[in-house]
Amino acid sequence: MNAPTLTEFGELVGWPLRRWQASALKLATRSTVIVAPRQTGKSRSLALLALHWAMTKPGQTVLIVSAGDDAAKRLLGTIRGIAAHPLLRDSTMDESQSLLTLSNGSSVRSAPQSERAIRGYSVDLLIIDEAAMVRDDVLQGAALPTTAARPDARVVMASSPWATAGAFYRYATAETPGIAVYRWRMDQADWVSPAVVEEFRATLSPLRFRAEILGEFVGREDSYFDPESLLAAVAGYMMLPPEQARGQSIVLGVDWGRAFDRHATVALGVVDDYGRNEHPVLFVPWCETSQRSYPDQMNMLTAMGRRRNVGQSYQPRLYDPDKVHRTGPLLAIEDTRYLPMTGATRPRSLPPVVEQPGYGVVQMVSEMNGVGYGVTEELQARLRGASPVIGVHTTQRSKEEWMARLRAWLGQGRLVLPDHEELLRQLRGLSYTATESGGLTIAASNPAVHDDMVIALALAASAVTPATGLGAPGGEPANTKWLQNPAGRWIPEQPRPRYSALRTTGARLTSW
């Protein structure tokens, strides 16, 4: 009598496989790679495969390598649960936390990612669970060599897609006859409601949805920004266009387009989280790319820069109604100190205030390379006495410094990014190469992917120095709806930058 196929075996023991799972586990080639998001049945399928192989092929050694000891024991526990089926009960000879021995002389052993725990075995079926989390030196230096002495051995590597680097990524993207690659998607899993998938689509960032739901890699091996840090920084908050702002403080980075390129403008502010986060958090309240003419772009930036003094929110030491005048949503009192326009403080004789839209632009940092030189000088002339315009020539060294600042903020959870497809695409597509002098050349990895928005963000970041004040949180409005990004930072669903932030003071950014 022929041994049952894997699909038949699963039906017999009450652990049926879906067609797309069984197709990936035929093991027609020496190496099989499965790229799959969570909740798609990876561990369950691997457990069934390991037991089927061991029971239908006498004298076999099956080794399961997992990222950690708990994961290894958990997977072997699943295998023991399948082996407890009445049809298989007599097949088990011995069990321990890390070894299952069968009556036909086969064994299934689990091990964490440790060279000491793996070396010395000769293996017929090697299964590596969550392979992207297993270190390259363990995977390539210890695990894979265990199959070298067995010409008919098979290797199965399965994992969620994490960083676009490492051995698992290289196997998953290899194009060679000896490696079969399969990609599973959460929407294939009939135990996951389509409504849940659509909810994830609506609430997760595009990057996170692609990685965790569609099972796609979202970066490159030489990506400058760590894909996980980018994913962790994203929150689906509503951005605040300048016409809806009311004097909140920002710094502005401006990258000028050349020929048919786009102009890019990115604002950076300190989110008014009303003290909910332990430390002040920077965020991007607004950004855009445009193909306006140079005069139109300068007119737009000039209009933004001239609103600098709207909304500086300082508390007055004295309150003299005779010295009050209107300035947007606030009252300017005495020596340019400001007070919120509330019923308790507004003089009865003062006419209703008409709010003046616009951000309070503390500083505008404009790129001066090439065509940027002339337009930056023009902006400086137009905004003299209003927002200071700082012109900078970007060099390899300055670009490396500013990008390093962004990368540090992302790694520390100090920067929250919007769910903005183009900005995230550019951040994800930025790569680096080392130079002979020991520096880095940082640029878009693909000519079809621009880096203008990243440059504008880096220019804005250059204005946030150790002597930059971060402002004080305001009072939380009623019915504030909150979001929390994967890095654990809280941000209102409709966030606003703090007033009176990002000005040069004695405060130190390093005090975060």
pLDDT in tens, the chain (512 residues): 578 999 999 999 999 999 999 999 999 999 999 999 878 899 899 999 999 999 999 999 999 998 777 777 788 889 988 988 888 877 766 667 678 899 899 999 988 776 677 877 899 999 999 888 787 778 888 889 999 889 999 999 998 876 566 788 889 888 788 999 999 988 888 888 888 888 888 876 565 677 777 777 765 556 778 777 888 899 989 999 999 998 899 999 999 987 656 899 999 999 999 999 999 999 999 999 988 888 999 999 999 887 644 443 333 333 344 444 433 333 333 333 334 444 444 444 444 443 468 899 999 999 998 888 999 999 999 988 777 899 988 887 778 888 888 988 998 999 999 988 788 878 877 776 666 555 667 766 555 457 889 999 999 999 988 778 888 888 899 999 999 998 999 999 999 999 988 877 543 333 33
Do 185 and 293 belong together in one domain? no
Do 105 and 144 belong together in one domain? yes
* Alpha-carbon span 380 to 389, nearest angstrom: 5
- Domain holding 368: CATH number? 3.30.420.240
Do 190 and 338 belong together in one domain? no
Do 232 and 266 belong together in one domain? yes
Q: What share of the chain is helix, strand, coil (3-state, %, to 5)?
A: 35, 25, 45
Tokens of 391: 């012109």
* Alpha-carbon span 100 to 75, nearest angstrom: 12
Tokens of 369: 């390379």
Do 58 and 144 belong together in one domain? yes
CB-based contact 10:88 (threshold 8 Å) = no
Listed residues 179, 212, 245: the one ending a domain: 212
Write down the residue that tokens 């000896």 correspond to. 178
Do 274 and 372 belong together in one domain? yes
Tokens of 345: 């403080």
Would you say residue 511 lies in a domain?
A: no
Would you say residue 96 lies in a domain?
A: yes
Do 299 and 284 belong together in one domain? yes
Would you say residue 192 lies in a domain?
A: yes
Would you say residue 145 lies in a domain?
A: yes
Write down the residue that tokens 């002098």 correspond to. 437
Q: Where are the alpha helices (DSSP H) in 57-133?
A: 69-83, 115-118
* Alpha-carbon span 100 to 459, nearest angstrom: 59
- Domain holding 15: CATH number? 3.40.50.300
Do 286 and 164 belong together in one domain? no
Domain membership of residue 369 as a residue range = 227-310+356-501
* Alpha-carbon span 501 to 405, nearest angstrom: 19
Residue 386, C-beta contacts closer than 8 angstroms, at least 6 positions apart = 305, 306, 308, 309
* Alpha-carbon span 137 to 113, nearest angstrom: 10
Residue 46, C-beta contacts closer than 8 angstroms, at least 6 positions apart = 64, 75, 127, 129, 156, 158
Looking at the structure of the chain, the number of domains it has is 3
- How many C-beta atoms lie closer than 10 Å to residue 419's C-beta? 20
CB-based contact 337:317 (threshold 8 Å) = yes
Do 368 and 420 belong together in one domain? yes
Do 344 and 413 belong together in one domain? no
Distance of CA 216 to the CA centre of its chain: 13
HSE toward the beta carbon, residue 359, CA cutoff 13 A: 32
Put simply, whether the predicted model's pTM sits higher than 0.75 gets the answer no
Tokens of 480: 């504030």
φ, ψ for residue 93 (rounded to 5)? -100, -45
